[in-house]
Structure 1
């Protein structure tokens, strides 16, 4: 077998490794130098934080195929960092400069002169973003296909008449800036305008007229955008397949033609009704992704009718829809054969009796049922019967669920990789007496779990990668050491607000468990810069939760 592995071409190994999740590359790279080289070539995305700055030259050499760099967690000199990236020889296709105080203009100029293949730029949550910046972006990166300019963080005061005073700060993005952008970026396919409060329907007019390839629109909380602007987009953008709208009044307009729409988000939108959404879904029955969060008019009867148009659906969000209960969930799992992910946070799931004749749907893999106060053991057991192949289940803040219900789910759904039971006050401990060989992420924030419970987790969940123990006031360093000893693959652990955990356990974990990459320490842990760097050299980042 070893000889066969040696003669297998690199191309074959790359195809095999591409089927492996990236967080497992670290283990593969330890097998041999050849696997190290191959996994290095497959890493295409890098998140740069302040603590990784000193390692950048080595990282750029180690991962020559990096295509995406994310600077959203970097708070140093972004211009200097972009200049360094420009000299790296990388061929970037995507860059995120989100969460910065201002747009790093000088750094982007240097980068734009070197990297001609940039297709995706994220400038979201960027302070002082304004019209002239949009012109510069279009000039530096004329081949952009995706642009995110959402939620610019402008600071301004108010004049005596109560209107914003822009005299001492930059003016926000306006329709003029969007017009200039649309004139220069003809190849734009995706744009996020969310949170730009001063643009109007004119911006949608310019984009839909000049950027004929646009296929994805994100328009959340733009107060001067109306249904007329949305109607323009729907009429003109023949390639539109994803439309995301939130916080906008939206009486639906009848469409004369069907778009190739496969993703529709109407979260927290006002004024639209069952008749409007029904007419729209009837014409777009190939829809795969639907988000109707906070559509308060929805009832079980409505969802029964709508589910007839959703046979292609793979994702559905009905969170904050108080009128939907068990009946909606069961009808959807029957009528939507391709359904993979369901989000029903804060609904009335569990409030009504169950229907008979439950039918299993093996395709449903992800359920977020958090904040359902009526959800109880009986309901969650039946949910597990319907969805036996779950890999993700979140029932956080479901106060009527107890240990019994959770254990029944885990016995039925042996493929679960993520379990979220944060703040489930009915769960006092986890007396697991069977192996959870697939479980990788466990979130028990705010539970009364103690050291004995941690010992059980360590014994039964030995493939665990992430463990969130924040606000678990009954655990001590003894229990933490026990679970860290047993979980040999553990990469992340949070001890935030664990007041009874001695701070000395942090150093013990770093040196005892080499797989750890991120630790949120308990209260009172204040490392020196030299000690933080020492932990980082061992591959572990100490950070706030």
Structure 2
């Protein structure tokens, strides 16, 4: 590792993720020799401790992006102490966190005035944390909160104040429903991509609310939802559909209620689709797929 560091002293990106064994020693050896690092991925370092992260933030003065997914030994206090050393951080991805010293963590986080990407997926996130980020007006563009528990109040406060989100990931947020998505969509005029897969209660109402209010939205992932399941009063025939040319990618895998007529309608109102994922469908026939191919000449990826 030291030899590699000596060969590439100007290295800016380093990925040491998912080591087979304790990677602390190797990581420290490299970080000592690579002062110009901008981005470091230490995901899966189950033995990572506060000294490794603190060493990283103290010694890499150009550091902008930290990824430490699935590291279990770090506390919120450890992370707060480290990021306090590097106020120029622009992206933090640290998952599976619990918060024992919430105020200390918030104070460190909101001082990152250039923070554009925040990933706290699979964490117990208090509403107060997201609300504090909102009040500080951090320039968040990418927000990833996969698998978080009921944090809707915090999400609402953050999105209503920081209305420049371009990438939003709320996968596996079981508390989300159509009304939540309809409400949040009014704050997402800059949204380019959204992942709301495994939000069991979401239907076509959430999809079309997003497309109506988010005029730049080109990528939607709604796998494992109930899109296609609707009552008579909410049937497609009673809805006034517009055409949404901005949508380029639609991932709908594992939606058991979708049928041929649903897919036929989708390709009509999404004329510029280039990627369509219909994998693990049991209600779609070969004739339905044929209709897709006849109607949508721009599709390049069909699953």
TM-score by length of 2: 0.92
Match of 1:349 among 227, 237, 241: 227
1:308 aligned partner: 186
1:325, CA displacement in angstroms?
0.3
Q: Secondary structure at the match of 1:236?
A: coil
1:181 aligned partner: 56
1:143 aligned partner: 36
1:128 aligned partner: 21
Match of 1:243 among 95, 118, 128: 118
Q: Which has the higher contact order (CA 8 A, sep 6+)?
A: 2
| 2:168 corresponds to 1:281 | no
Match of 1:234 among 97, 109, 134: 109
Deviations 1:271-301 (A, max 9, x none): 312x221111001111000001111121111
1:22 aligned partner: none
Q: Secondary structure at the match of 1:211?
A: coil
Deviations 1:242-292 (A, max 9, x none): 11121111122222221111000000012312x221111001111000001
Distance change >3 Å, CA 418–CA 229, structure 1 → 2: farther
| 2:84 corresponds to 1:191 | no
Deviations 1:445-475 (A, max 9, x none): xxxxxxxxxxxxxxxxxxxxxxxxxxxxxxx
Question: Which structure's CA Rg is the greater one?
Answer: 1
1:486 aligned partner: none
| 2:210 corresponds to 1:332 | yes
2:147 aligned partner: 268
Q: C-alpha separation between the residues in 2 aligned to 1:225 and 1:145?
A: 29
Bigger CA drift: 313-322 or 348-357? 348-357
Q: Secondary structure at the match of 2:52?
A: helix
1:214 aligned partner: 89
Q: C-alpha separation between the residues in 2 aligned to 1:326 and 1:337?
A: 17
Distance change >3 Å, CA 224–CA 129, structure 1 → 2: farther
- Correspondence 1:380-395 to 2 at 5 A: 380-395=263-278
Q: C-alpha separation between the residues in 2 aligned to 1:112 and 1:138?
A: 8
Distance change >3 Å, CA 222–CA 150, structure 1 → 2: farther
1:25 aligned partner: none
Contact 2:166 2:192 in 1 (8 A): yes
Q: C-alpha separation between the residues in 1 aligned to 2:30 and 2:150?
A: 36
1:190, CA displacement in angstroms?
0.5
Q: C-alpha separation between the residues in 2 aligned to 1:122 and 1:340?
A: 29
Distance change >3 Å, CA 316–CA 229, structure 1 → 2: farther
Q: Which runs of 5+ in 2 are unaligned?
A: none
Distance change >3 Å, CA 241–CA 304, structure 1 → 2: same
Q: Secondary structure at the match of 1:246?
A: coil
1:423 aligned partner: none
Distance change >3 Å, CA 410–CA 317, structure 1 → 2: same
Q: C-alpha separation between the residues in 2 aligned to 1:258 and 1:344?
A: 29
- Cα RMSD, aligned residues only: 1.8
1:132, CA displacement in angstroms?
3.2
1:390, CA displacement in angstroms?
0.7
1:214, CA displacement in angstroms?
0.8
Distance change >3 Å, CA 231–CA 287, structure 1 → 2: same
Distance change >3 Å, CA 407–CA 227, structure 1 → 2: farther
1:116, CA displacement in angstroms?
2.1
Q: Secondary structure at the match of 1:302?
A: helix
Q: Which runs of 5+ in 1 are unaligned?
A: 1-107, 155-171, 421-545
Contact 1:145 1:187 in 2 (8 A): yes
Q: Secondary structure at the match of 1:305?
A: helix
1:412, CA displacement in angstroms?
2.0
Q: C-alpha separation between the residues in 2 aligned to 1:237 and 1:399?
A: 48
